[in-house]
Amino acid sequence: MAESPADPAPSADGGQEFVPATPELLYERRGPVALLTFNRPAARNAMTWAMYEGLHAACAHVDADARVRVLLLRGAGDRAFVAGTDIGQFQAFTTAADALGYEERISRYVGRLEAVQKPTIALIHGYCVGGGAVLALACDLRLASPDAQFGVPIARTLGNTLSVENVARLLALLGDARTKELLFTGRLVAADEARAVGVYNEVVPAERLEARGRELAEQIAANAPLTLRSIKESVRRVRAHGRLERADDLLLMCYLSADFQEGVRAFLAKRPPRWEGR
């Protein structure tokens, strides 16, 4: 008898199906395709530390479970894939350790998603911004609905910056000029433009997004697992070869600035920030 997708079943290590430690993440597996949902729709799925930790654990489980061939990621509700990191977590930033520690943690989580040995596909609707855009870039493929908005608007919102690793992820898709234009202006890119410049592999009707994602995942899952793994790792190594490891001076310039503190206060107060360049 075929295994029921809803029934708990032993995983590759003899345990049960993965159960996230936080209700802000949902996980399910149907045959060779796993689906991880960022489940915080009232906050546009903005990431908490518990969600980041759960993402890290889910990636480890997917690597260990031989039944899983492809991982899909999506946001709950109809407003966002992920609208960045929960800004409330920034209010206590005052030291170099705060800034560098934050970026090191984010690098750990995003790097773990990027290093998943199996193909990953982001299903994007609504806002895919800030940390959400970075998570989407760490996936292998991206499908979007027509309402998707992609960008990293930190130059006009918080006044922090991207790590060199995350700038490299943008550069790999957009090239120098488009990456600079996107980050300098802080604008959000509509779905058709993002598809045209290579951010999205496909744009499909919203009501078809998950179905198309599963269809593509099953097509990929039918192929040779070691071939998929080797191609993914080859691409990762080629990209990593030219990526700078650290740029602490740039991180500290932004995270320890008065402008960053102002950006956080303004965001939480829902008012325009007043930049001073210091």
Reference 75, options 143, 164, 12, 157; nearest CA is 143
Provide the pLDDT for residue 94: 85
- Whether the predicted pLDDT of 244 surpasses 60: no
Reference 196, options 144, 272, 231, 235; nearest CA is 144
| Residue 90: band (very low, low, confident or very high) from pLDDT cuts 50, 70, 90 | confident
Other CB atoms within 10 Å distance of the CB of residue 141:
19
Tens digit of pLDDT for each residue in 185-198? 999 999 999 999 99
CA-CA distance, 146 to 190, in Å (whole number)?
8
Instruction: For residue 126, give both structure tokens.
Output: 């609504």
Higher pLDDT: 40 or 252? It is 40
CA-CA distance, 231 to 141, in Å (whole number)?
13
Tens digit of pLDDT for each residue in 66-82? 999 999 999 999 999 99
Higher pLDDT: 277 or 196? It is 196
- Whether the predicted pLDDT of 6 surpasses 50: no
Domain formed by 25-206+222-269, architecture: Alpha-Beta Complex (3.90)
CA-CA distance, 49 to 109, in Å (whole number)?
10
Higher pLDDT: 254 or 1? It is 254
- Whether the predicted pLDDT of 13 surpasses 70: no
- Whether the predicted pLDDT of 150 surpasses 90: yes
Above pLDDT 90, what percent of the chain? Answer: 73
Provide the pLDDT for residue 10: 46
Q: Tell me which amino acid residue 276 is.
A: E
Provide the pLDDT for residue 249: 84
Across residues 87-95, what is the average pLDDT?
84
Instruction: For residue 115, give both structure tokens.
Output: 């290093």
- Whether the predicted pLDDT of 4 surpasses 50: no
Helices and strands (H, E) in the chain, number of each type: 9, 10
- Whether the predicted pLDDT of 246 surpasses 80: no
Across residues 96-104, what is the average pLDDT?
91
Tens digit of pLDDT for each residue in 23-39? 999 999 999 999 999 99
In DSSP terms, which residues pair with 36 in a beta bridge?
27, 73
Residue indicated by tokens 């210091």: 278
| Domain chopping of the chain, boundaries | 25-206+222-269
| Residue 245: band (very low, low, confident or very high) from pLDDT cuts 50, 70, 90 | low
